[in-house]
Amino acid sequence: MEIDALVAEIGSTTTIINAFDRLDTNNPIFLGSGFAPTSVLEGDVLVGLNRAKVDLMINLGVSELTAKETFASSSAAGGLKMSVHGLVYDMTVKAAKEAALGAGANIKMITSGILDEFQIDEIKNEKLNIIMVSGGVDYGERKTALENAKKIAELKLNIPVIYAGNIQNHSLVKKYFSDNFQQDYLFISDNVYPKIDCLEVENTRKIIQDVFEKHIIQAPGMERVKEMILGNIIPTPGAVMEASKLLQEAIGDLITVDIGGATTDIHSVTMGKDEISKILIAPEPFAKRTVEGDLGVFINKNNLLNIIGEENIIKDLNIDKNQLQEIIDNYQAIPDKKQLPLTERLTLEAFNVALKRHAGKIIYLYNSSGKTAYAEGKDLTNIKYIIGTGGALTRLKMGKEIIKTVIEKQNDLILTPNSKVKVLIDKNYIMASLGVLSKKHPKAALKILKESLEIK
């Protein structure tokens, strides 16, 4: 059997391969998925990918399967571990952070101002994949970004460094890296904060994804995967962002929430309302991603249990303390019937906390005119749709109800979506794969995504 495309999603624990056909017609189709454990520990991710393909073939009922095109996304090496170093946190550091997160990076370290010796030691010990240096609007302050670039070049870490600060520094930054034989690791981007109240992050996001594909694919066997595919291997969270932006163009402003075993990611694609933008203290990106590394329904379940509190869980689930302890002691990644109510409660809490962290808020400041309202952070009040993807929301029967419950309980001072927002679930769990596919087949990817979301 020959089909149009296979899209592999090589995760840190699970490898998924999705099959698509009729991509150049008006009726593109999703054929099915195959799953297998990621085989990093076996010394070759290709082993797990081949097992996932066998599982796919079994699900499709075929003995042979070939594809005209193969694509891939990956977080098999633990994702993109980045540090961001800028001038002022609320300006250039924030802009650089937004570029990094939107591209699928995991931020391990953030600094503002000139790096001190302790921060330099942390950079050396963190085992980073990429470092980003920003700072200064164009033709503005130069010293901080130059000093930081020089110190990082002198570390000779042999890892990619992206410079995305004041454009006046380009020549000197290149010289610092050349003097330290690090010129092959330097990538120059547009300034992420070129002028006051202006974020320009898309060019930097593209560079981060290119750097990921060229330098970060360290999982054993990934080079052979690279030889099999068309185009670049992109970070899986970046693929979800691509799908979110594609969908927003078709249906309107939206949030995508991905709740997994270890993290909860929220992508929002919206400019917000005009009345809020007029009182916004600092600019926000059109497409924003936040990663809550402490909110996961399996690996980080204890964090959620502590946030909710034992007494509240016992009350919510209508069980006693011994029953709760038994469930926790036997807790597993794929919940059984007995565990399911707790998993649903943890999923609800993960979304509730992550949404509040992602959203902006109204604050009141006193000045000569009295009390004045301002807004800070991302305005989500213009959101029309919330998209649920990821293992928890796509596999739990109560996924839609969980999202609706959270939305109905929001505070008026927090800039979250209103209760009339429409909730959609990625029932086939293919949003990341379609983000990858959209690079080559945007129309087909959008149509298949709408079908997975049951948009008529």
pLDDT digits (tens, 9 = 90+) for 315-337: 999 999 999 999 999 988 778 88
Residue 335 CA, distance from chain mean position: 24
pLDDT in tens, 386-402: 999 988 899 899 999 99
- Distance of alpha carbon 348 from alpha carbon 392, whole angstroms: 10
Q: Is the dihedral of CA 56, 14, 302, 321 positive or negative?
A: positive
Q: Give dist(CA 244, CA 239) in Å, integer.
A: 9
Across 76-92, b (16+ Cβ under 10 Å) vs e yields: bbebbbbbbbbbeeebb
User: 388 is written with which tokens?
Assistant: 């649920």
Convert 294-325 to b/e letters by CB count within 10 Å (16 or more is b): bbbbbebbebbbeebeeeebeebeebeeeebe
pLDDT at 215: 59
Q: What is the pLDDT of residue 238?
A: 85
Predicted confidence at residue 249, as pLDDT, reads: 97
Domains of the chain: 2-77+217-232 (3.30.420.40), 80-215 (3.40.50.2300), 237-425 (3.30.420)
State the pTM of this model.
0.81
434-447 mean pLDDT: 96
Instruction: Output the CA torsion sign for 243, 249, 251, 257.
Output: positive
Q: Using the structure block, give the residue that is written with the tokens 């962002």.
A: 241
| Non-local CB neighbours of 394 within 8 Å, separated by 6+ positions | 388, 425, 426, 427, 428, 429
Over residues 423-443, the mean pLDDT reads 95
Q: Is 157 left (phi over 0), alpha (psi -120 to 50) or beta?
A: alpha
Cross-strand pairs, 388: 257, 425
